[in-house]
Amino acid sequence: MGFYEMDKNELVSMKKQWDDEYNTFKAKGLKLNMARGKPGPEQLELSMDMMDVLNSKSSLIGVNGDDYRNYGILEGIPEARDMFSKMIGVHDDEILVCGNASLNIMYDVVSTSFLKGVNGSTPWCKLEKVKFLCPVPGYDRHFAICENFGIEMINIPTDENGPDMDMVEKLVSSDDSIKGIWCVPQYSNPTGYIYSDETVKRFAALKPKAEDFRIFWDNAYCIHHLVDSPKLILNLMDECRKAGNEDMVYIFGSTSKVTFPGAGVAALGTSKNNIAFLKKVMGIRTIGYDKINQLRHVRYFGDYQGLLKHMDKHKTILAPKFEAVIDMLEKEIAPLGIGSWTKPQGGYFVSFDSLPGCAKRIVALCKEAGVTLTGAGATYPYGKDPEDKNIRIAPTYPSVEELKMAMEIFCLAVKIASAETVLD
Amino acid sequence: MGFYEMDKNELVSMKKQWDDEYNTFKAKGLKLNMARGKPGPEQLELSMDMMDVLNSKSSLIGVNGDDYRNYGILEGIPEARDMFSKMIGVHDDEILVCGNASLNIMYDVVSTSFLKGVNGSTPWCKLEKVKFLCPVPGYDRHFAICENFGIEMINIPTDENGPDMDMVEKLVSSDDSIKGIWCVPQYSNPTGYIYSDETVKRFAALKPKAEDFRIFWDNAYCIHHLVDSPKLILNLMDECRKAGNEDMVYIFGSTSKVTFPGAGVAALGTSKNNIAFLKKVMGIRTIGYDKINQLRHVRYFGDYQGLLKHMDKHKTILAPKFEAVIDMLEKEIAPLGIGSWTKPQGGYFVSFDSLPGCAKRIVALCKEAGVTLTGAGATYPYGKDPEDKNIRIAPTYPSVEELKMAMEIFCLAVKIASAETVLD
């Protein structure tokens, strides 16, 4: 029976029972973490063989005869540029292979835009106002970059096809202080949505008022599938090329969740014009990135196909975790009609929407019972979820068993918080 | 007989002979590179065993129980912080261990100062003018950072005790647009000078007019000795502490020239106040640096003493190379009185001063004969050596045999260029 059909006494009595169950969990003093999109220990084990790929007897001479142990090769080793250009979906002269984190590349690109402009435009720090469009719910670290630079963020609603493109087109074409938009197109963070072909085409065809407007296409999860025959998004760069819009896009990717977070390799795909400009500042900032780690990754995977094969192993570990989350929600929450959630085919998160006004309370109840979730509000710019209802669930780190327990607590928290609201 | 004592005809005839010798070399089509401070291949071999330190069976769990394969630990792993704090000469809570390049940290610190200020000061990008003091001759990549940010550079003469401290004190205490000074205190780049105790004390006791003035103490070569009992500089942080001036200094170091350039580990030593401020922006830029590579380094060296022992092997390789350079200069140039040079006890360079107005010509002559040197002028801000006389010689990369040949050509170039000037 749905929540709203119950009479008040019935709900009060059910709430009493949920409180009891909740307190029993609380007494156990559990410590379960579902806060961040962290790979679990079994996933880390998958890449341990990579540690054997290079040893003291290995040649670290590259395809071009360069010694990768020494300085140089700012744009990344050719072997890695080849592999990452395929992953990111750009030509092999449209890629920079960098250090250990795509977040760092994103920050550096924004920072460069502030200090030096974009391909010769006025440095953003000289402008009175810089705005970014932020499809919501979205990724808190993107929003944190904006906050750091004082960029004004504008919420863009999203659905299973991606951001509201009518709104994006209208804003981008009319306001030249809008300089960027953050997108996680294949398996959005946190919804898991896959942008539709039409959405990608409309992105590629944007006619921004600001010549220095850029799409920040964070394709972090483009190969992180949970199903066997995943839907793949259209290639943005190809579509941009058709529209003569190659300069409008930065595409980011990394192996952070493929091999080791923090010890992976990250890359940026973008037009040759953008690369030429960015390399000028990159060459001031560094003599080069870690080519040995780049080589370690390429030798381990062999090629892009090898990389994809490796991802199947992650899928085998992760699919049951997502299943456990969805199953529990279907069983415990669906009948009560007090929440909705996404059923992603890939990525690292499930997005849960509670009744309005309950998210903060749910997260707090979970925390009290030893289950740490991403803070409520984190999926919105400035940490402000206007309806206080969105919660990002990150099922990857705990074991399936821990996850089931954490989700039991989560579902109890949802029920209790919802009952509080309804009874209030 | 000295150059200036010769009569003109004698000099003309000698020049003819030098031209012939030079042309003989030129005909050989050599390709020798002394442009950058690059370790030679034998030096890279020294660290190949590090590639075996971590393998697929290794535990990557740290002293605190953290799994270094996963996200986190922004400030660097405790094992590495311990080792680098000793190298850099700060307390173990005054160190951040970062990625693969100290240049990157320097850039990021300057970039953060421009965008966010220094510990709450006005962001430098909001100021009309930002100036840095640049002891000359100095390091071109420091100057390139300044040029990139539009920082006005002021030359500060140096001698074997370091920068002209009268001038530094006077400028720093009177002009609040002076926000920084670049120093390479132990084995300056390119002179190899070691700052005297008095110089370090005067640095520590500076009373800058700008509260956001910082000393950029690039101690890149602090453990790169060429002699057995090297003179060591005073510890700047200790001296700053005595003066209550800990916030005034950033100290940089790395293993770029200890293990592998590009695949080493870099660190920043600075006050707890500065660290707290910098970490706020660092945490926006990245989730963490490559902890696996940090661990690889620490496990390889064991501890700071192990690191120092490793440096002895570099010394054995490098000392003969510096000797070859100095010997050739003593033999070929000293008797003619047409140049002077430093005799460093460590570091990566020999600084050569030709007769005024000859440096560009010498570098061009060398290049034509297949010997690439750092561009003349590179050791001065804006690439402008006011007397066109300083040349940075980088003896580390070529073999001793190649080096001898390169130095023969170099000495011929010095003689020819000097003769041209004198005969002009």
Helices (H), A28-139: 41-45, 78-88, 102-116
Instruction: Count other Cβ atoms within 10 Å, centred on residue B229.
Output: 7
- Cβ(A263)–Cβ(B292) under 8 Å? yes
Share of chain A above pLDDT 70, in %: 100
- Cβ(A152)–Cβ(A130) under 8 Å? yes
Beta strands in B130-173 (DSSP E): 131-136, 152-159, 162-163
**Of the ranges B1-5, B31-35, B203-207, which is most confident?**
B203-207
Q: Which amino acid is at B21?
A: E
What is the distance between the alpha carbons of residues B416 and B409, in angstroms, rounded to a whole number? 10
B281 in contact with A, Cβ within 8 Å: yes
Mean pLDDT for B365-372 is: 97
Place of tokens 């990579």: A50
Name the band, by pLDDT with cuts 50, 70 and 90, for residue B80. Answer: very high
Given a cut of 90, whether residue B52 has pLDDT beyond it is yes
CATH of A3-44+308-423 given 3.40.50.12280, 3.10.310.10, 1.10.10.10, 3.90.1150.10: 3.90.1150.10
Closest CA relative to residue B283, chosen from B119, B102, B71, B81: B71
Which residues between 137 and 166 in chain B have a beta carbon less than 8 angstroms from any beta carbon of chain A? 141, 144-145, 148-149
What is the distance between the alpha carbons of residues A64 and A291, in angstroms, rounded to a whole number? 13
CB-facing half-sphere around the CA of B387: CA atoms within 13 A: 12
Which chain B residues are closer than 8 Å to A49 by Cβ? 56
Residue of chain B nearest A259, judged by CA positions: B69
The distance of A261 to chain B (nearest Cα, Å) reads 5
Q: Taken in order B220, B223, B225, B229, is the CA torsion positive or negative?
A: positive
SS3 B6: coil
Q: What CATH number does the domain located at A61-302 have?
A: 3.40.640.10
What is the distance between the alpha carbons of residues A187 and A257, in angstroms, rounded to a whole number? 14
**Looking at the partner chain, which of A41, A56, A144 has a beta carbon nearest the beta carbon of B52?**
A56
Instruction: Count other Cβ atoms within 10 Å, centred on residue B210.
Output: 19
Name the band, by pLDDT with cuts 50, 70 and 90, for residue B24. Answer: very high
Q: Across-strand partners of B250?
A: B216, B270
The tokens of B8 are what? 């003109």
What is the distance between the alpha carbons of residues B370 and B32, in angstroms, rounded to a whole number? 6
From the candidates A56, A122, A252, A281, which should be mutated to test the interface with B, based on the most B CB atoms within 10 A? A56
**Looking at the partner chain, which of B149, B285, B292 has a beta carbon nearest the beta carbon of A107?**
B285
What is the distance between the alpha carbons of residues A399 and A273, in angstroms, rounded to a whole number? 46
Q: Across-strand partners of B218?
A: B252
- Cβ(B277)–Cβ(B120) under 8 Å? yes
Name the band, by pLDDT with cuts 50, 70 and 90, for residue B236. Answer: very high
Q: B306-321, pLDDT tens digit by residue?
A: 999 999 999 999 999 9
- Cβ(A215)–Cβ(A168) under 8 Å? no
What is the distance between the alpha carbons of residues B412 and B17, in angstroms, rounded to a whole number? 10
Q: How far is CA B391 from the centre of its chain?
A: 15
Q: CB–CB of A261 and B56 under 8 A? A: no
Which chain B residues are closer than 8 Å to A55 by Cβ? 51-52, 55
CATH class of the domain at B3-44+311-423? alpha beta
Given a cut of 90, whether residue B5 has pLDDT beyond it is no
What is the distance between the alpha carbons of residues B254 and B271, in angstroms, rounded to a whole number? 18
**Looking at the partner chain, which of B44, B68, B103 has a beta carbon nearest the beta carbon of A70?**
B44
Beta strands in B195-239 (DSSP E): 214-218
**Looking at the partner chain, which of B48, B56, B148 has a beta carbon nearest the beta carbon of A281?**
B148
Mean pLDDT for B197-216 is: 98
Q: CB–CB of B52 and A48 under 8 A? A: no
Closest CA relative to residue A216, chosen from A280, A161, A138, A276: A138
Whole-model pTM? 0.97
Q: A217-228, pLDDT tens digit by residue?
A: 999 999 999 999
Q: Across-strand partners of A253?
A: A267
Domain boundaries, chain A: 3-44+308-423, 61-302
Residue of chain A nearest B281, judged by CA positions: A148
Q: CB–CB of A70 and B36 under 8 A? A: no
Which residues between 17 and 46 in chain A have a beta carbon less than 8 angstroms from any beta carbon of chain B? 36, 38-39, 41, 44
The tokens of B370 are what? 């297949």
Q: Taken in order B8, B13, B18, B19, is the CA torsion positive or negative?
A: positive
Residue of chain B nearest A286, judged by CA positions: B104
All residue ranges of chain A with pLDDT < 70 are 1
Given a cut of 70, whether residue B1 has pLDDT beyond it is no
Q: B271-283, pLDDT tens digit by residue?
A: 999 999 999 999 9
What is the pLDDT, as a whole number, of residue A1?
Answer: 61
Name the band, by pLDDT with cuts 50, 70 and 90, for residue B382. Answer: very high
The distance of B76 to chain A (nearest Cα, Å) reads 11
ipTM tops the 0.95 cut:
yes
SS3 A218: strand
Task: Give me the DSSP letters along A141-154.
Answer: HHHHHHHHHT-EEE
